[in-house]
Each structure stands twice: as C-alpha cells, then as structure tokens.
C-alpha cells in the first residue's frame, strides 16, 4: 500500500473520531496496527494531524470563535469572558499533560491500557445517562468560571489514552449542569486549544513532519482529517439533539473487547 494512502486513511480515521466520545487515539492505534508503518513519523503523525480536526471545528463553530475576538454582551460566551472560560477549561489538561507526558506516551503503546480506558469510559457514559441524563439547564453562554475549571479537571481524564477528550469534556459538563447539547458544543470549543498545544509539541519533537520528508504525508492526512471532521461534527451535533450517549458507550465496550483480544492474541 502506498505510504501516502496510509496517511490519507489515518486522516480519515482522525477526522471521523476526534469529536465523537469514542477515542480517536484508540482508533488510530488500531489503524496503525493493521496499516503499513509511516516509519519514524508514526507516533508524531497521529498527534499532528489533529490540526485538521481543529480546522474542521473552527469552520463549523466559526461564529463562536469570531465572538471571542470582539467584545461580547454580558453573560455571553465571547470576548474576554469567553477567552477566560476557555483558558480555565484548557489549563488543567495542559499542565497535567506536560507533567505526565512521558507516562502518557508510554500508555499509548500499551493496547491493554487503551482497552481499559475504552471500557471505563463506556461504563462512565452509561452511568451518566442512567443517573444524570439530560437534566442540565445551563447553556454554553451560561457557563460559570467554577464550572469551566471543573470541566477542565474532567478533561484531564483524557490523558489516559482511550478515554477520549470529547467523552471526558461532555461528561464533566453534563455533571456540572450543562445540557447534553451545550456540553457537546463546549467539547468542540475546548478541543481547539488542547489540540493546538498537542500538535505544536509533536512538531517540535519531529520538525521533519512539516518541513522534511514527512511534510507530504502530514499535508494529506491533515486535509482529509479536516474534511471528514466537518462531516463528523455536523452529524454528531444532529445526533445529540435527538438521542443519548448510550450508543457510543456500547460501541466503546465492544471496541474495548476487540482491542483486548488483539493485544492478547
């Protein structure tokens, strides 16, 4: 299989799974297990192409992001207030992620650890829907600084590869009073600074990914991730408006079993 096609397929997996509560990390790890290797770029590539997902959500949620660049009405998620709330959501995972980066990188290479995170997240989503459901009343505009920091702490769970940044953020937001739809929208917004930071770190570790022999692979994977990410964000938003997180929870449990069997085979 041509190595460029491998990059395209990985970009497709990234775009379709980054914003769903199913863990793009787990899916990319599985894909890289069955697809030919990208050589020295394997580890950094699956992090760096997340920038395509950032482009996708920035486009779909462009009104929210442009609102951050201008003064906002009181009580709205925009302007300085919006930036502060986004910083509070992002700061914990960046700080903890930096301290634990070597442990996180090690866990990414352990399929059983990923399977455990998939299962734990699946059970967590089932429990969330069983005992909490869509009882929240808070919208994104009604988010408080305390809730923003709490969601940021929940997002730290995503450092366990396979747990899912999206699932962690949505669960934390719903538990802290946001509606399911608002929690989903907030997970899109919260993804951008976290992913940009992770991508920047990956590029610093492997500069040839964007300026050397890996540049073509990175470009192809990023473009595909962006296009498929737009489709995934819109589809997920529509799905959440009329359903629960249970289908994703059961999917996670099934995927956890597959990953565990492959790891033990």
Q: Give the residue with greater pLDDT, 61 vs 213.
A: 61
Q: What is the mean pLDDT of the chain?
A: 90
Most trustworthy range by pLDDT among 1-10, 34-43, 142-151, 199-208: 142-151
Q: What is the pLDDT of residues 168-196, one digit of tens each?
A: 999 999 999 999 999 999 999 999 998 88
| pLDDT tens digits along 124-149 | 999 999 998 889 999 999 999 999 99
Stronger pLDDT, 75 or 237, i.e. the higher one = 237
Among 48, 60, 49, 43, residue whose Cα is nearest residue 15:
49
Indicate if the pLDDT at residue 113 is higher than 80.
Answer: yes
Instruction: State residue 73 phi and psi, 5-degree precision.
Output: -65, 150
Q: How many residues does the chain have?
A: 265
Per residue in 18-55, pLDDT tens? 999 999 989 988 888 888 887 766 767 777 788 898 89
Do the Cβ atoms of 152 and 117 come closer than 8 Å? no
Res. 246: pLDDT tops 90? yes
Residue of 209 and 92 predicted with greater confidence: 92
Please tell me the predicted confidence (pLDDT) of residue 213.
Answer: 67
**How far apart (Å, rounded) are the C-alpha atoms in residues 195 and 200?**
8
Distance between CA atoms of residues 74 and 92, nearest Å: 26
DSSP class of residue 212?
S
User: Closest by alpha carbon to 244, among 27, 21, 24?
Assistant: 21
Return the pLDDT at 48: 77
Q: What is the pLDDT of residue 185?
A: 95
CB 13 within 8 A of CB 27: yes
Q: What is the pLDDT of residue 89?
A: 96
């Amino acid at each position: 299989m041509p190595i460029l096609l491998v990059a395209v397929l990985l970009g497709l997996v990234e775009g379709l799974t980054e914003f769903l509560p199913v863990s793009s990390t787990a899916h990319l790890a599985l894909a890289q297990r069955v697809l030919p290797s990208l050589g020295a770029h394997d580890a950094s590539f699956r992090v760096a192409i997340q920038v395509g997902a950032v482009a996708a959500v920035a486009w779909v949620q462009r009104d929210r992001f442009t609102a951050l660049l201008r003064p906002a009405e009181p009580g709205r998620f925009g302007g300085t207030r919006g930036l502060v709330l986004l910083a509070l959501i992002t700061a914990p995972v960046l700080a903890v992620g930096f301290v634990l980066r070597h442990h996180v990188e090690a866990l990414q290479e352990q399929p059983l650890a990923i399977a455990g995170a998939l299962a734990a997240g699946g059970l967590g989503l089932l429990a969330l829907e069983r005992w909490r459901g869509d009882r929240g009343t808070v919208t994104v505009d009604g988010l408080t600084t305390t809730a923003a920091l709490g969601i940021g702490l929940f997002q730290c769970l995503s450092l366990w590869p396979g747990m899912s940044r999206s699932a962690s953020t949505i669960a934390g937001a719903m538990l802290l009073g946001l509606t399911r739809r608002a929690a989903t929208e907030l997970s899109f917004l919260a993804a951008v600074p976290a992913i940009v930071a992770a991508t920047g770190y990956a590029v610093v570790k492997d500069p040839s990914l964007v300026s050397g022999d890996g540049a073509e692979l990175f470009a192809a994977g990023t473009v595909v991730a962006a296009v498929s990410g737009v489709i995934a964000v819109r589809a997920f938003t529509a799905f959440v408006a009329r359903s629960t997180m249970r289908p994703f929870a059961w999917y996670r449990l099934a995927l956890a079993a597959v990953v565990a069997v492959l790891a033990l085979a």
